[in-house]
Structure 1
């Protein structure tokens, strides 16, 4: 005979469906928008998706136009470095650069973490 396993019952949440969060909380309202009708919500979602798509395309075109150009990176602790931009990984977590001019010297090849970069600029 198999050994029976006891079932752990969690306490009930504050809402009637026992999902563990308050339906009047700002988080619930932000994650579950029920104030819009389905047709206007669908149009709003399509518009947001179109805008996100446009921004993503602009960003990718900017990365493409930066290739093989001198780029100045403003980093944390007020550090400015210059380098020839090579590429970015697919998640834009790292930038591959060449001839990186740092306060300590020149590095022939390097990877810059995008988390360390505040801004970058380059000539068109």
Structure 2
């Protein structure tokens, strides 16, 4: 007897947020009292200086991280995952936008996988051991 034809499943789409960015109504500023209008102007100036310094520091860290990824291709890497698993692999590339590491020769407790993608959300840390 043939398998029955699967019934199509509908897709649930959430409504767009009140602004055109599609933020679904959530504020981008998570600080308490960020929307209050009774702020002092001098405090705003200090915050803008702090945010500029913070933005500069983040840009420098991002540049260092991207340079590291550029030099890491083909090197042996050790990954520790959030679930406590430690795996070894040859680093291939990183897709920072979608959040994945492409690796070759992934050595896991179950064996060696020729090529794999590790989600950045699953990776707690990674390092390049000295050879």
TM-score range, shorter chain: 0.5 to 0.7
- Match of residue 77 from structure 1: 83
Q: CA RMSD in A?
A: 2.2
1-structure distance, mates of 2:91, 2:41: 45
Pick from 64, 70, 76: which aligns with 1:64? 70
TM-score, normalised relative to structure 1: 0.68
Correspondence 1:49 to 2:36: no
Taking a change above 3 Å as real, the CA distance of residues 111 and 101 of structure 1, as seen in their structure-2 partners, is: same
Gaps of 5+ in 2: 1-30
1-structure distance, mates of 2:83, 2:75: 24
Pick from 33, 37, 54: which aligns with 1:28? 33
Q: Greater helix percent: which structure? A: 1
Residue by residue over 1:2-40, the C-alpha shift from the partner in whole angstroms, topping out at 9 and shown as x without a partner, is xxxxxxxxxxxxxxxxxxxxxxxx6224x6693462543
TM-score, normalised relative to structure 2: 0.64
Gaps of 5+ in 1: 1-25
Taking a change above 3 Å as real, the CA distance of residues 62 and 77 of structure 1, as seen in their structure-2 partners, is: same
Bigger radius of gyration among the two: 1
